[in-house]
Chain A
Amino acid sequence: MKLSETATNSLFSLTSPAAEFRMSNAEIQNPKSQIRNRHGFYEITFEPLDVGAVARRIVPETCGATVTLDGYVRRFTKEREALYLEYEGYEPMALKEMKKLIGQAHEQFEIASIGIVHRLGKLEIGETSVVISVAAPHRRAAFEACEWLIKELKRTVPIWKKEVYSNGEVWVEGEKQSAEN
């Protein structure tokens, strides 16, 4: 796995062979907490997410399919009605864990590139909280990798959501499965 060799901790890396990615000026001007290398990119943002932009950013010409998960804020959870959600993250560790997931996914699936963006802060109902895009030569691997990535993200990446109701609020605590390894 060459991920650790090519990844950097700089906010925005153009030292890797990034020419295969198409970048707009807006992306170049909005490099907050973004890490990018030849296997993909991952970042944290406090701004609204453009789902399509994430998907387009990862596609090399060898690919025939991109699967994108658009995860957004649900109003009802177990019949409780949320007014809005607040996401908080342990940002440097969250980025490290996202980087690990990208490396592990490349080891397990025949995929070309991955984009993961998680939003933090206050999110209204229906707003996108997480986008995961996976491009692959063939669709099956892209679907499988995308499903694996969101499952693992929800298990290992240190981000928490607080559901705010009309009569209170509660931090959602994830399932008690080991997040180690």
Chain B
Amino acid sequence: MKVRVLFFGATADATGEREIEIDLTDSTKAGNAFERIVREFPQLEKHSLLFAVNQEYASGDEVIRNGDELAVFTHVSGG
């Protein structure tokens, strides 16, 4: 199944991507999906990262479904 992965700010700069599509096996957990993304972009490791699934902060236990929107970003700094 395919999911979209979004990057913002520092993670977009680090990966050189704003949005990618990755293939995952069915019923992959969010934690495993994000580990795989970081393996693919090891330059992300030097950042402290937050993850979201379908625009909600993810704990890692979420089961990813086909077409989900994942996001990887650093701790927020708005305001």
The chain A residues found within 8 Å of chain B, CB to CB, are: 71, 87-90, 92-94, 96, 118, 129-130, 150, 153-162, 171-177, 179-181
Residue pair A179, B76 in contact (C-beta under 8 Å): yes
On chain A, the residues within 8 Å of B9 by CB distance are 88, 160, 162, 171
Main secondary structure of the interface of A (DSSP, over half): mixed
Kindly list chain B residues whose C-beta atoms are within 8 Å of the C-beta of A87.
78
Assess A96 versus B55: contact at CB under 8 Å? Given A90-B8, A173-B75.
Answer: yes
Known: A160-B73, A160-B77, A161-B78. Contact between A90 and B10, CB under 8 A?
A: no
- The reply to whether the CB of B22 lies closer than 8 angstroms to some CB of chain A is no
Nearest-neighbour CB distance to chain B for A92, whole angstroms, equals 5
8 new A-B pairs (CB below 8 Å) besides A159-B76, A160-B10? Answer: A93-B71, A159-B77, A160-B8, A160-B77, A161-B78, A173-B74, A173-B77, A175-B75
